[in-house]
């Protein structure tokens, strides 16, 4: 019986399209993780498949002894750089071999994924069920016509009822745990990238923050028989062995071929990490400003409302933001916009405003732009204590009476 080969790209596609994350988050949670796992595989191949070292022992040794010396040089902790090749100030004339590289790359992938793991565990644990809302929003995006309008109406009814239930019962009067973990996730992505950079500087770059630029310059100006300052292409090996009951030692010149590959891997990671640091920092600052600074939240939501066909004065919009929508509602709008587009987020904003307006007994303030003719204020409200996505009852069981 043949077993199905697992699709190694399926999990990557799920991470790349997860609506709980935006494009900046996926740089760390998806792209960085898979890049590091790919490089980990390449480094394992370079280490354990093929020839990792080429040494030149004395000619009077048989081939079996040559293999012994090569393996001894590979497993011993330290080899020496030839004298006269010490291009960096304070650079020690010895280095450890790099069988630990695959494990370090795997650890870096885990560090990049930890904020995603935390966010998945907390996004629907406090307050509103974000996963169910985004799942329903994904389904609505595939619909059209009256069915789409009805499902949008039902979705916004559920969101509005749940927000009203949570905040009117004073369960989250002063803060929103879900929004807090969203901001925390953003900063953890930034701090994780900074940690990666510091680790590379400490263990690979000899505590020089510009080592990536130095290594790149060395590669560009490469000359025959040149030596990289970080991953030397020629080292001395001094293995010990016993012959005639006496301890002896020999010195050989070795070429660590794996260093050529490892050098390129860490140079690439140096610049990739700098890029993720910059992008994740900008994203974290933007998310913090939206949820902690009223002016930024007002400006962000005001743009949604104007383009959706609703004109409000500042007083009414602030009242809607902090009386009806709150931090969780703003978070829903942001996630929907990042995952399914701005136009769909504007539709959700419009419907939420109409429901709040009708509840207060006011007349909706609408313009002719993007009219929503199928809005139905009498749609059934879901109970906040019931799950949004209900299972279809079995044919063998009778359906329960409606509440």
CB 182 within 8 A of CB 331: yes
Cα-only R_g, the chain:
30
Place of tokens 């400490």: 202
Residue 229, burial from CB neighbour count under 10 angstroms (0-12, 13-18, 19+): buried
Q: Provide the b/e sequence for 285-319 (b: ≥16 CB within 10 Å).
A: eebeebbeeeeebeebbbebbbbbbbebeeebbbe
Question: Can you give the pLDDT at residue 374?
Answer: 38
Helix (H/G/I), strand (E/B), else coil: 129: coil
Residue (of 144, 107, 153, 88) closest to 269 by Cα position = 107
**CA–CA separation, 344 vs 370, rounded Å?**
12
Structure-block tokens of residue 15: 């991470």
Each residue's pLDDT, cut to its tens digit, for the chain (403 residues) gives 444 545 556 666 777 788 888 889 999 989 999 999 999 888 888 777 766 777 776 677 777 777 777 777 777 756 666 655 555 555 555 555 567 788 889 999 999 999 999 998 888 777 678 888 888 998 998 888 888 888 988 888 888 888 877 776 544 444 588 889 999 999 999 999 999 999 888 878 777 888 888 878 877 876 544 455 567 777 777 777 777 777 777 777 777 777 778 888 898 999 999 999 999 999 999 999 988 888 888 888 888 777 666 666 778 888 888 788 888 888 999 999 988 888 888 888 888 888 776 545 443 433 333 333 333 444 444 444 444 444 444 444 444 444 3
Question: Can you give the pLDDT at residue 7?
Answer: 57
Helix (H/G/I), strand (E/B), else coil: 253: strand
CB 255 within 8 A of CB 53: yes
Q: Phi first, then psi: what are they for 231, rounded to 5°? A: -130, 85
CB 153 within 8 A of CB 379: yes
What's the count of helices (H) and strands (E) in the chain, helices before strands?
A: 14, 7
Question: Can you give the pLDDT at residue 314?
Answer: 79
Question: Can you give the pLDDT at residue 281?
Answer: 96
CB 109 within 8 A of CB 28: no
Helices marked H in 293-403? 294-307, 314-319, 326-340, 342-359
Residue (of 236, 231, 239) closest to 257 by Cα position = 231
Sheet holding 53-56, edge to edge: 53-56, 252-256, 235-237, 78-80, 94-96
CB 191 within 8 A of CB 277: no
Question: Can you give the pLDDT at residue 35?
Answer: 92
Q: Longest C-alpha distance within the chain, in Å?
A: 102
Q: Which domains, from first to last, does the chain contain?
A: 22-126+176-292 (1.20.1440), 128-175+293-381 (no CATH)
Question: Can you give the pLDDT at residue 6?
Answer: 52
């Amino acid at each position: 019986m043949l077993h199905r080969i697992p699709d190694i790209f399926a999990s990557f596609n799920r991470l790349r399209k997860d609506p709980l994350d935006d494009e900046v988050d996926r740089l760390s949670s998806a792209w960085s993780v898979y890049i590091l796992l790919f490089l980990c595989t390449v480094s394992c191949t370079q280490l354990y498949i093929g020839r990792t070292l080429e040494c030149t022992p004395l000619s009077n040794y048989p081939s079996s002894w040559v293999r012994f010396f090569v393996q001894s040089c590979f497993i011993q902790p330290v080899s020496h750089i030839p004298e006269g090749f010490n291009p960096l100030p304070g650079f020690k004339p010895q280095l450890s071999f790099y069988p630990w590289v695959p494990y370090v790359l795997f650890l870096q992938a885990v560090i990049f994924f930890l904020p995603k793991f935390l966010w998945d565990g907390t996004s629907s644990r406090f307050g509103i069920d974000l996963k169910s809302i985004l799942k329903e929003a994904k389904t609505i995006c595939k619909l059209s016509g009256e069915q789409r309008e009805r499902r949008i109406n039902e979705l916004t009814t559920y969101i509005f009822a749940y927000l009203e239930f949570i905040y009117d019962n004073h369960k989250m009067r002063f803060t929103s745990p879900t929004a807090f973990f969203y901001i925390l996730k953003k900063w953890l992505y930034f701090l994780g990238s900074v940690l990666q950079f510091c680790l590379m500087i400490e263990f690979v770059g000899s505590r020089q923050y510009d080592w990536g630029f130095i290594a790149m310059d060395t590669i560009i100006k490469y000359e025959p028989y040149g030596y990289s300052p970080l991953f030397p292409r020629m080292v001395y090996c001094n293995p010990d062995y016993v012959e005639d009951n006496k301890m002896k030692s020999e010195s050989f010149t070795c070429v660590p071929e794996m260093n050529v590959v490892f050098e390129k891997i860490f140079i690439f990671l140096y610049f990739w990490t700098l890029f993720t640091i910059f992008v994740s920092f900008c994203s974290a600052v933007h998310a913090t400003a939206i949820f902690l600074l009223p002016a930024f939240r007002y400006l962000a939501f005001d743009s949604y409302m104007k383009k959706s066909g609703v004109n409000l004065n500042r007083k009414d919009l602030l009242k809607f933001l902090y009386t009806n929508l709150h931090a969780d509602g703003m978070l829903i709008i942001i996630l929907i916009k990042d995952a399914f587009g701005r136009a769909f987020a504007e539709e959700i904003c419009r419907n939420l405003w109409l429901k709040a307006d009708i509840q207060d007994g006011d007349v909706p303030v609408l313009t002719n732009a993007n009219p929503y003719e199928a809005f139905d204020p009498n749609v059934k409200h879901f109970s906040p204590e019931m799950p949004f996505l209900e299972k279809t009852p079995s044919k063998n069981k009778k359906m329960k009476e409606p509440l």
